[in-house]
Amino acid sequence: MPRISLHDLVVEFPFQPYKCQEDYMNKVIECLQKKVNGILESPTGTGKTLCLLCSTLAWQEHFKDSISARKIAERLKGVELFPNRTMSSWGNSTTDGEASAYTDVPKIIYASRTHSQLSQVISELKNTSYRPRMCVLGSREQLCIHPEVMKQESSHGKIYMCKAKVAAHSCHFYNNVEEKSTDKDLASNILDIEDLVQTGNKHRVCPYYLARTLKQQADIIFMPYNYLLDTKSRRAHNIDLKGTVVIFDEAHNVERMCEESASFDLTPHDLASGIDAINLVLEEQAKIIQSSDPHENSMESTGSGLNLQLENIAKIKRTLLQLESAIDAVELPDSGNGITKEGRFIFDLFAEAQITFKKKAELLESLEQIIQFLGGGTRKMFNNTIGLQKLQDIIQTVFNMEPEDDKSSFVVGQMMSKYYRVHIHQDTSQQRQKQRVDLWSSAVAKKQGKTLSYWCFSPGYSMQELVRQGLRTIILTSGTLFPLTSFTMEMQIPFPISLENPHVIDKHQIWVGIVPKGPDGVLLSSAYERRFTVEYMSSLGKTIGNIARVVPHGLLVFFPSYPVLDKSLEHWRDHGFSSRIEDVKPMFVEPKGKRNFTEVMDAYYEKNICNKSNGAMFLAVCRGKASEGLDFADVNGRGVIITGLPFPPRMDPRVVLKMQFLDEMRAKHGSQTQYLSGQEWYRQQASRAVNQAVGRVIRHRHDYGAIFLCDHRFMQSDTRAQLPSWLRPHITVYDSFGHVIRDVSQFFRIAHKIMPAPSSRSLQRTIDIGKPSCHVSLSPGSFTSLKANNLDAHVPSLKRKLSGYDDGALSVVIDGTARVCVEYEQMLSTSLKKPVGLLDALEQTEKRNGEEESSVGGKKAAPLSALLLQHQKRLVSDHKGGRKKIKIVNKHGSEMVACLNQSSSSSSSRAALYMVSVKQTLSQSSYEVFMQTMQCYKAEDDFHAISSQLVSLFTEDPNKYTLLREFYQFVRPHHKKQFDELCHLVTGKGCGYKPEHELLREEKYPRAGTAEVEERCALKAECMKQSYPHSGPQERHQQFLSAYLTKVKKSLGQDKYQRFSTALSMYKKMDNYPAMVSEIADLFTENPEDYHLLRQFYKFIRPHHKHTFNQMFKDLTGMSCSDAEQKEEERDFITTASSNSIAEQSGAKEKWPQSCMDACTITQVESFVMQQWELLLLLFWSTWDFNYVKSF
C-alpha cells in the first residue's frame, strides 16, 4: 500500500490519495496533535471514512511508538517512565500477556447514527493495512443470544431478565465471557455486529458482555451517537471518555441527537402505567405480610427480594399521584395550543410532588429496586415496568447537574432556562389513562390528561457536558454541514480547525437539472397547498415515468414525507401511471418499519445487477433510512429525483418553539453574530435533508449519475445557495422538459463510453453476484424481498383483496416453480423477437421477418414478467376475468367477432399465482407429491388418482380449501363437472361449473367468419397487385426502408446518421432498448421538425418494446404512434423515394375499388392471427406441456 508522509507521520493508504483526501487527513492529524476540536466537511463519495480511519490509526501507532521510545530511554538511565501513574481505567493494549507500555495512548471512539452505518465503516477498516484491537458496542436487543431473553417482546423486558440471569449466574453464555475474552482470535479479529453475534453462537459466549469486555483493551471503539450523547446510556455502558478522541461521522445529525437525548415527553399513560406498577408491588407485598408470621416479620418485606418497607412504597405512589395532579392543575388556553414556560419551571413543578435535588438519589434507588422486583426471577411483569423506567430516566434528565448547595439549585434552574422550554398541552395520543378506582386515585383521573414536554433547543448543552468528561479531541465530519459558521455556533464549543473540501469527480460525471415543469407544462411544486392536487400528482407521475426511460439501472425517488409518497402512489395506481412506470422499471417502496427494510433493499439491488433488466426504481422519503448513509453506488443509483423540499411541519409545537428560541438567542447576542434566525434554521433543515438525499448518487471516484430537482422552488437563489458548494456549478435550469430528456440522454451516453465499468466489488455490496443474473430475484429465498415492490404492502389505502383468496394465498412467493413462467416467457419472446426490417436494411445481411403489434380492438397481451415483477396490484385487474372481443368492422357495418376466453396475461397470471401460493402453503415433501401428481395427471389423464391426492393435500386445513377449488382451472374439460361436484362435497362450495366449460377450445370458439377474412385478404391482395403490378410485399417494404433511411440521412447529416446507424445495430444485436431509445430520442427531439421521423420509427421497434416507445413518444410530443399514421407515412415515403417509377404508374392508376377500401387491412388480419397464436400457446401452458411448445 502507498505510504504518505503527513505532519511527520507515515500514513498507509489503500491507494494513492487525491489532493482533497490528503488535505482531509492533514486536518485530522492536526486536530490530534494539537489536542483541539475540528469540523470537517467533505462531499459524499470523497472517501472521508477511509481518510478518518487511516489518519487516526496512523497517529495512534505513532503515539505508541513515541511512548515506547521514551520508556526505553528512561530505563536506560535507570529511571522508571511512570513511577506514580496508575493504570488507565480503559485497561491497556497488551499483546500476548506482555506488560503494556501504552497505558496513556488515547483511545479512538468512532460514532455514527446507526449500526448499519458503523458496519460500513468496519468494512472499510478491513480494506486498510491497520489491524487495531477493536470492538463495537450494541444493545441487548441486537446482541443477546439467550433463547429465553430473546422471547421477551419489550427491550425493557430483555434488559431486566438478562440482569436477573447474570446476577444468578444462570446464563451459560455470560459465564463463558471471562474465559473467551482472552482468546487471541476474538480479541484481534475485526468484527461488526453481525460477526459478533455469529462468533457468540459459535463459541457459546455472550456477544453483549464480550463486547463490553473487549472494550477495556480496544484501541478503537465503534458505537452509535446516543451511547455518547445520552448521559444515561454512557453510564449504562460504563464509557469513560477521559483522554479519548471522539469522532462523530455523519455529524449533520448530531444537532438533533443532542437535543433529543436531553429531552422527554411525559404522557398521562406513562404516569398511569407507573402507578399501576406500584399497585402491583403493594398487592404482592401485602400478600407476603398477611401470609407470614407477624412475630417474625416487620413491615420490611423480608425474603420477597424487595428491600423496601410498605410505607416507602406507598410514598412513591403518593409522589406519582402528586406529580399527576400538579401537571393537570396547569391551566391551558382555550385555543388548544398548549402553554409554554421557561426551563426552570420544571423544578417548581417537580417540587410540588416532593421531587428535588436532595430527594433524587433516594427516589431513584427505590424505583430501581421496584423495577428489579417486577422484572426479576420468574415474574412475567416486564411490560408493567415501562412507565417506571421512563420516570427514572426523566428524573435523571431533569436533575442531571448536581448543585453544591441550595443556592446553587437556583443557579442550575436559571441555566436550564438558557437551553430548555417546558411545554404542557392536552394529550392527543391513542393511549388513554386507565380508570383507577381505589382510595388513592387522583381526583382528575377521569379527565383527559395533559402531556408534559421538557425540550432542549440547544445542542450545545449536550456537547458541553461531553467536553466536561475530559476528552482530548472532538472531530465532527459529514458531507452536509454547510454553513459551518452557524453549525459551530450552535455547538457552543470551540472548533479551531475546519475544512470545506471539494469533490473528487470531474464535470462529465455529474448532471444536475432543475425541472420546474412536467411534460404537460404543469408547475411542479410540493408546497402544502399544491402537493395533493390531481394536476400536480399526475404531472409528477409523467415526469418520473419519462425520466425512468432515459436513466439506466437504478433510480432513486425521494419524497418530502410519507403522506406525500403514499398519496402519490395511490393516485398513480388509480389513474394507470404505476403500470406505465413499471413497464420501464419495477418500483420498490421504502417500508416505514425496520423489519422488512433489509429485504426490500436486497431485492432492489438484485434487480439492478440483472443483465437483462432495465434496472429498478426505489421510492423513499427524505430523512428516511434510505437517504441516510446507505450505499447506492454505481448501477444501484444512476439517478436521484428530488420531488420537493422536505420542510419540517410548520405548525408542530416543537418546531415553532425552536424557531422562537433561535430568534431570541439572535436578538440577545445581536444581529452581528453568526446565530441562525428561526426562518434560516427552518430552510436549512429542508436543504440538509435534500443534500443528504442527492449524496446517494456519487459514492466513489469513478461513479457517475444525474440529479433531478423537480420543484420550481429550486429556481430561487436562496434555495440554490443552500445546496452543496461542489454541486452548484453543475446546475442547469430547464424551461422545456424535452431538453431535460435530450441532455440527460447525452450525459449518460458519454459517461457510459468514457467511464470504467463498475468493479465486481461494488456490485457485490449486499448480494452474491455469482447467482444467475436473471433468476436472482426469483430464488426461493427471495419471497419477502420480492414483496418489496408491491405498492399495496406499503400504502394502506391501496390494499386490495382478491375474491376467492385468503390472505395467505395473496402473498406471492416466487420460487423454483415460478421459473417455469420465466422459461415460458423467454420461449414466447424468442419466437416473437424476429429481426426487424429496418435493422436488416442497415446491414443488408438478413431477410425481413418483422412483425406487427396486435392493435385492432382489445389490448396486447402483457408479458408474463409483469406477474413476477408487479405481483398483486397487477393481478387484481387480471383476476377479474371476463371475456374480451376483437372486432374487425368494415364500412357497411358487418363484423366478425372472435371471442377469446381471457387474455394470455390474465390466465397465465392466475396459473402462476396459484402455483406459487401452493408452494407457500404446502411443506416441501407435500409440494413434491403435488408436482408428481400433476405430472401423472398430464401423462395418464387419471382423474380419480389426482382427485384423491388433492383431497388429501388440501383438506386437512380449512384454510386450504380455496387452493383445492382454484385447481379447477387446470382440470381438463371432460373432468370439470366431476371436480366441481367433488369440491362441493368436500368444501361445501363449488367451482362455478358451467356446461360450456366441458367444451374443447375449438368447439367453444369455432372459426366463424374465417372465410370472410380470407376473401377480404384475397381482395386486398388483388387491389395491391392492380396498383403495383411489378412490386411484391418485399419490394414495397424495401422501398419504404430506402425512403425512410434517405429522409433520416438528409435530416440528420452524416455524423448523426452514423450515430443513428450504430444505435440500431446495437439494438439488433443486444436488444438493449434503454440504450437505443436514449440515442434515438436525442437525435430526433433536438429539432421539432424531426418528430415525424421519431413517430415513424415506431414501426421498427420490436413488439415487446412497442408499448413503452409509444407511451414515451406520446408524453414527449402529445402525438400517438398509431398504425393508421404509420400507413399514411409509409405511402408518403414510397411516393417520395420512388417518384420516377411510381410516376409512370400513376398516370394509368385508377382509384382502388370501394370493395378494396372496405376490406380489412393486412395489419388487422395479422393482429387476429397473432391473437390466435397467443391463445394456442396459452392452451399449452394450461396443460403444462412445455416440451411440446418448445418443439412446436
Burial class from Cβ neighbours inside 10 Å (0-12, 13-18, 19+) for residue 586 reads buried
Most confident stretch, 720-724, 923-927, 1102-1106: 720-724
Does residue 1172 carry a pLDDT above 60? no
pLDDT tens digit sequence for 448-495: 689 999 999 999 999 998 999 999 999 999 988 877 888 888 888 999
Q: What is the pLDDT of residue 407?
A: 54
Q: Cβ–Cβ contacts within 10 Å for residue 583, how many?
A: 21
pLDDT tens digit sequence for 424-454: 999 876 554 444 444 344 433 445 689 999 9
Q: Which of 303, 484, 465, 448 is nearest to 400 (CA)?
A: 465
Alpha-carbon torsion (947, 953, 957, 963), positive or negative: negative
Does residue 98 carry a pLDDT above 70? no
Angle between helices 737-754 and 534-550 (to 10 degrees): 30
Q: Euclidean distance between the first and final Cα of the chain, in Å?
A: 60
Instruction: Supply the mean pLDDT for the chain.
Output: 75
pLDDT tens digit sequence for 1044-1065: 888 888 888 887 888 888 888 8
Where in the sequence of the chain do the CATH 3.40.50.300 domains occur?
507-647+697-758
Residues 141 and 143: their CA atoms lie apart, in Å, by: 6
Cell of 19: 489532493
Residues 421 and 419: their CA atoms lie apart, in Å, by: 7
In this structure, are residues 777 and 612 in contact, taking their beta carbons and an 8 Å threshold? no
Q: What is the pLDDT of residue 266?
A: 94
Residues whose CB falls within 8 Å of the CB of residue 1104, separated by 6 or more in sequence, listed in order: 829, 832, 833, 863
Q: Cβ–Cβ contacts within 10 Å for residue 226, how many?
A: 15
Does residue 847 carry a pLDDT above 70? no
Does residue 838 carry a pLDDT above 50? no
Q: What is the pLDDT of residue 401?
A: 77
Cis before 14 (ω within 30): no
CA dihedral 359→362→367→368, nearest 10 degrees, is 140
pLDDT tens digit sequence for 361-417: 899 999 988 888 876 644 445 556 788 889 999 999 998 877 665 556 677 777 778
In this structure, are residues 323 and 271 in contact, taking their beta carbons and an 8 Å threshold? yes
What average pLDDT does the segment 259-271 reach? 92
SS3 call for 136:
strand
What average pLDDT does the segment 292-303 reach? 48
Instruction: State how beta strands 731-733 and 510-514 pair.
Output: parallel
Does residue 1032 carry a pLDDT above 50? yes
Instruction: State how beta strands 9-12 and 108-112 pair.
Output: unpaired
Q: What is the pLDDT of residue 792?
A: 43
What average pLDDT does the segment 639-661 reach? 93
Q: What is the pLDDT of residue 821?
A: 32
Does residue 848 carry a pLDDT above 50? no
369 to each of 114, 277, 310, 313, 388, how far by Cα in Å? 32, 12, 13, 10, 11
Alpha-carbon torsion (45, 51, 53, 56), positive or negative: negative
Cell of 513: 437539472
Does residue 1150 carry a pLDDT above 60? no
Does residue 78 carry a pLDDT above 80? no
**Least confident interval from 135-149, 543-557, 842-856, 907-921:** 842-856
Of the two residues 17 and 610, the one the predictor is more confident about is 17
Report, at the CATH architecture level, how domain 507-647+697-758 is classified.
3-Layer(aba) Sandwich (3.40)
Q: What is the pLDDT of residue 1119?
A: 67
pLDDT tens digit sequence for 703-744: 999 999 999 999 999 999 989 888 999 999 999 999 999 999
- Cα–Cα–Cα angle for 926, 1186, 1107, rounded to 5 degrees: 110
Q: What per-residue string of b and e applies to 316-326 under the rule 16 or more CB within 10 Å gives b?
A: bbebbbbbbeb
Of the two residues 741 and 701, the one the predictor is more confident about is 741
pLDDT class for 621, splitting at 50, 70, 90?
A: very high
In this structure, are residues 812 and 786 in contact, taking their beta carbons and an 8 Å threshold? yes
Angle between helices 904-921 and 924-940 (to 10 degrees): 140
What one-character-per-residue DSSP string does 816-831 give? TTTHHHHHHHHHHHHH
206 assigned ligand-binding residue: yes
Q: Cβ–Cβ contacts within 10 Å for residue 1078, how many?
A: 24
Q: What is the pLDDT of residue 1127?
A: 47
What one-character-per-residue DSSP string does 1140-1173 give? HHHHHHHHH--PPPHHHHHSPPHHHHHHHHHHHH
In this structure, are residues 1168 and 886 in contact, taking their beta carbons and an 8 Å threshold? yes
- Cα–Cα–Cα angle for 507, 1062, 1052, rounded to 5 degrees: 80
Does residue 983 carry a pLDDT above 70? yes
Q: What is the pLDDT of residue 415?
A: 79
Of the two residues 127 and 939, the one the predictor is more confident about is 127
Q: What is the pLDDT of residue 58?
A: 94
Q: Which of 369, 270, 691 is nearest to 503 (CA)?
A: 691
Most confident stretch, 84-93, 690-699, 1071-1080: 690-699
144 assigned ligand-binding residue: yes
- The pLDDT > 90 percentage for the chain reads 30
Q: Which of 560, 491, 494, 493 is nearest to 532 (CA)?
A: 560
Q: What is the pLDDT of residue 1035?
A: 63
Residues 541 and 537: their CA atoms lie apart, in Å, by: 6
